Structure 1
């Protein structure tokens, strides 16, 4: 049975994963009554049979469900008159190790050795005479087994197997004699088998050329095309172009040219080459293109177009928006604008005025970065401007007057600019197109010595600039501290510049009213 299981498993492949087997076998016994292991001198030959259902797991392993049945008789060699007759059944599950796994032997090698092991149930009705007493035992006990076998591959689907396995049932009641050496279970059986296995399944052959997909090196061969043993179409002139596709099947040519020659070596057959004596490009029917823009030199009106630039049929750079600025130089290729503004729409004067006046309407809570509701209409208007000019980015720069410590003013100016940016993000302005920074008290626009000047210096400025150009605030004021630098600045209560101690009583307003 085990050998059949092994054989069925062995017959299987990735194309034929399920197999059924039938086998004949011969049992031999070893126990307290004696043994006939490896001895068939008995005149009466008892044989049994079985079947196996197996499943392919991998080139190295299969799994099988095994069944075997035989009637077995034995007469004691130790005590005259002792004997038994057993109807033996075995049902097992086994895991098979195949040595023809492609690492030791090829999978399709004719002789394929294997090993198997597993366990199951030993089912026996045994009757006879032992120690002068008749007995009848019905046995249902677990067993384990080990098997060695040879498979002879007759075809992809059929195989012949010869195996020997030893079964160790966890019982001594087959011969009804107890007290085996060392008090161990002693009834064991050898099973010699020969069997035939048939593997089921259809070989995968998508192109139906008679070669399985697993072995087919050319799996897309059209129906009816003659192929070699590897599944590739025949090629009698050996030029790498199969005969059924070769326009010049009797003369070696180029694979790229369907097997035909090309005297100027430009990849275009001489028959199709408009410039057969000068190497050119296949897509230009064999003619040259000096600037590599896809238009032959003969038809190119702009023969010095830079490499990689898309051109029209005359070889001149594309200008989608028709503003006279070619797309490869146009910062806004889908919106018309003058060359002086890199091909982008210029900001209207009215829009510039809205931007410059916006700072007047941005207000915050005292000494904080919290926007007052009165600021919202202006910020919404700025968000609308951003939508109107999609090719522009916006810089938001915060400034303070000179009251308080430098570090505190720098942090407050940044936080206020960031607060304005956060609100505009809530109005669907893309984060990549808006940047905020703070300059503290370093960039005044008026004299901090007067209350009017201080009010003018406390401001948030909004500037548009073409995306990709330098930040407009940085152009006006230079680099601002980074976020990391701001975080590194110790936080704290603003330090207000104070008069000498003797004049302290003369201060009229508390410090908290200075921002």
Structure 2
């Protein structure tokens, strides 16, 4: 009864540990059930590295005490970075104590071990060697003592969760009455207890989205809209869409995702952000005032008019209401005949003798000149003043300049843009007739208005 109570005590330690840390959901558990062998050779001074300590290590028949039935059980839990901690309980019957044969002595052990997985470091998934260190308490018959343990073993996994565990532990006793000894174990191991926080059937350790229910196909991550694209890669996770549009829909099938389509229900053009252009003029129908007639974007999709019908569109026509020529940007050109008429009028402008003041009887002819200048509203002109050769040249030069400017000022004052006019005086330098006759001198005293080409 006493021995049975010791085994039960060891098992309670194991079960107590397995429940104490059960809230750590992300660490898997491992339970191993098997048989053990106790080797009490050598039993000399107990020195851990004494001479001959491994001489009889494989002498199974003479030194190993084997209890072939279920005689050991252990539970361990993965801590992280290749480390795990476990507790084991074992029982045996000692018939060979080193080289001595003894009456059947009961053997009970309870041990705790920190193991380090060499296999995890080497990324060996099937064959997993490990090292361990720990301590425990061992009873042989009625005597018990603490031990310091060193462990070497391996797991051989047949599947992801089931495997074979083989290990050998060197147990150094702290009391002389308990032999330092080896304990070898072999058993079947089962890994279990992975957490599934989101309840999607995928353990957290394998779940890329452990807090959100998902699909196995996406490593536990969700596909809310069911379009076959996981939410993290889906630009429209709440609307079923197409892979080519990163999970977004294209309602009008125009090749532009709805989120980028300004007209998502009507097939359109990519250049117009998914909106249609029925007349193909580059203006989307909703902004096109002439949606069925190709026009100009700058004219709201309508064709440019040619109001005066001169072949120059209003947008390029500097005189859109007057028939002109293409060469003169839609404005009428000053012909030689018009130029001649203009100068015939200009020659009749009268001034006070020796002065630049225009006589009032010249107003009629000046109005005719203004009418011609207004008809050719984009043309520019030079007003030239001329004199005969009578008198001093300097006086004639000043008088010609003053009369040219006087005509310019009159024209500007009556609505002609000053930017279209310039004034210059040539004095007596450009006669058109002889200065030896009265008639010739009269012809030389004149004003000309000439087109600047």
Identify whether the pair has TM-score above 0.5, normalized to the shorter chain: no
TM-score, L = length of structure 1: 0.38
Judging by fraction of residues, say which structure has more helix: 2
Larger Cα Rg: Structure 1 or Structure 2? 2
TM-score, L = length of structure 2: 0.43
